[in-house]
Chain A
Amino acid sequence: MTLGARVGVRTGWSRKSGQERLVYRLLLPVFGTVFVLATIPFVMAVIEATTAGAKGFVGLDNFKVALGNPALYEAVKQTVLYGAIALPVEILGGLGIALLVHRVIRSAALRAAIYVAAMLPIVIPQIAVGVVFRLVYQPDYGILNVLLGRTGADQLLWLSSPPLALIATASVDIWQWTPFVYLVMFAGLQTVPSESVEAAQVDGASSWMQFRHIELPYLRPLLLLVVFFRLADVVRVFDHVYVLTGGGPGTTTQYLSLYIYRIGFQFTDLSQASALAVVVMATMTIFYTIISRFLPADRG
């Protein structure tokens, strides 16, 4: 508690009420521990990003190398396209389905069943998800082209024509992660007090008004959570893309995570990979600062 005591003196905390003191007494031991535990690896990543093997500290050199590589911008562009396809569908779709189920399905057992079902795509190992979708999309023996063939439609090269490969990889993301958005949003909808909703319905509010003015405010912190989880996860997609396309055709599906992996382990330049990761983190932080202004997590 010495740290707490020092902080207290500095901020004039000793004059505050016992309740506020309790905040720190409860928060510091646990939060302090995880803060330190989670910060050490980050600091080590920053050290790696600013050093180069035997040469030691090299300042921002690794960042210059990392940002000077034209392949990075190709990877960023493709990642943005991937995110632009997957994220709106996942977030709006997940939210929409959560609202639909919330309003239409009344049976508690069915609601619990749907909730449990939505967990399934997340518990399957990523690599197995990739393999199943390879059995769906592979042009020669994938089930999708077989089914298309039965309807007389053209067989499509799902994995090696640039726009289709982008869509195929993004569709896996959508399948796997829309349910996650649903899980969070549906749970969030349960915090909306039913009397507010009933009052609005009595006042004749439309479904949209009910969502906009009553439910959305309650969902805002969770929506922020979901937006950032999905944004951060677009920079993590790996296994299903690796199994489906290996980054091809060309560099079409060499998304940022695959790019950073290749820099780190194929080009064996962990310093540059760490620099890239720090840049990603800084970018996400900027996004966070901007978006949380428009979508404040706290009401009032």
Chain B
Amino acid sequence: MQHTRPATRIATYSLLVGIAVLFAFPLYYLIVTSLKTKAELFDPVPSLVPNGLNLASYQSVLFGRGFIGLLVNSVIVGLSATIVAIAVAFAICYPITRLPASRRLRGFVLSWALSLRFLPPIAVVIPYFTIIRTLGLYNQLPALILVYTIFNLPLAIWMLRGFLDEIPLEIEQAALVDGASRWQAFRHVLLPLSRTGILAAVIIVFAFDWAEFLFAFILTATPQAQTFPVGVQGLVTQFEIIWNDMAAAGVIAIVIPLTLMLLARKYVMTGLTFGVIREK
């Protein structure tokens, strides 16, 4: 990109800015809606800016409706299911990418993983309901952790495998020749090298877990085990849509993952320093 003409550069930047605006507008309108009062929302002509910083919807969602408990459940389920899914995916990817697995085995594992995504959820929701009840996990958080782990394996396996494939085998072998055990080579050589891939996968997997509704709804019965999206669904009732609370819920759903990432910013920044030249 060093040699491009200024005109091309300007065009490229304007394109990116244009995309950013289109992308940001619904998010902006979400925030605006969350700050409006019911009266403002009933105005015949909607406005692009709220009349004031009215935080009543947030208060209503978090405390009035008690969704704060659901948020706690969501965080527990999201983090646990993400960690388990990544760990399981790593355990599956390691042998098929770092060891001389046959092409058939490798192909089988990868195709099977992707196929998990092919079956429409509506068909497996009742079977999962039966299984979870048989296991005695109905209306309990571990049920969701288990199910989300399975659902996110396709993505986690395929992303990790993409990264692991590109890390030259020689690096690990050099460590083994130097007398490291396989575990040490994995822990001190492979794991650090694949951290970008792991973190990228963690972010996407967590996002999927965080927003899931259908299974969270069917596999739980009471707020004790329900997640945030289950509560949010109730803001569209038969006769009314509680616009501002719904929008506030949407903003809260964004803020929590952002906060988590801010708390982990040390890891996020070192993990996501995309483009740092990798030693070969």
Contact = CB atoms under 8 A, between A and B. Distances in A.
Given A103-B1, A280-B118, A31 B109 contact: yes
Interface string B108-147: 0111101111111111101110110000000000000010
A236 interface: yes
B246 A127 contact: yes
Interface string A228-258: 1100110110010001000000000000110
A120 B117 contact: no
Contact of A41 (B23, B96, B127, B165): B127
B30 A20 contact: no
Given A128-B246, A132-B250, A183-B200, 8 more contacts: A104-B13, A108-B274, A123-B254, A132-B30, A184-B159, A184-B204, A221-B162, A221-B165
Contacts, number: 298
Main secondary structure, interface of B, reads helix
17 contacts: A26-B94, A27-B105, A41-B128, A41-B131, A44-B127, A45-B127, A100-B16, A104-B16, A115-B274, A119-B203, A123-B210, A135-B243, A179-B23, A190-B275, A280-B118, A284-B115, A298-B103
B15 A100 contact: yes
A128 B30 contact: yes
Interface of B: 1, 9, 12-13, 15-16, 19, 22-23, 26-27, 29-30, 33, 43-46, 48, 88, 91-92, 94-96, 99-103, 105-107, 109-112, 114-124, 126-128, 130-131, 146, 149-150, 153-155, 158-159, 161-163, 165-166, 196-197, 200-201, 203-204, 207-208, 210-211, 213, 228-229, 232-233, 235-236, 241, 243, 246-247, 249-250, 253-254, 257-258, 261, 268-269, 272-278, 280
Contact of B33 (A111, A135, A146, A297): A135
Given A37-B146, A44-B127, A136 B272 contact: no
A113 B27 CA distance: 16
Interface residues of A, number: 102
Nearest to A35: B112
A288 interface: yes
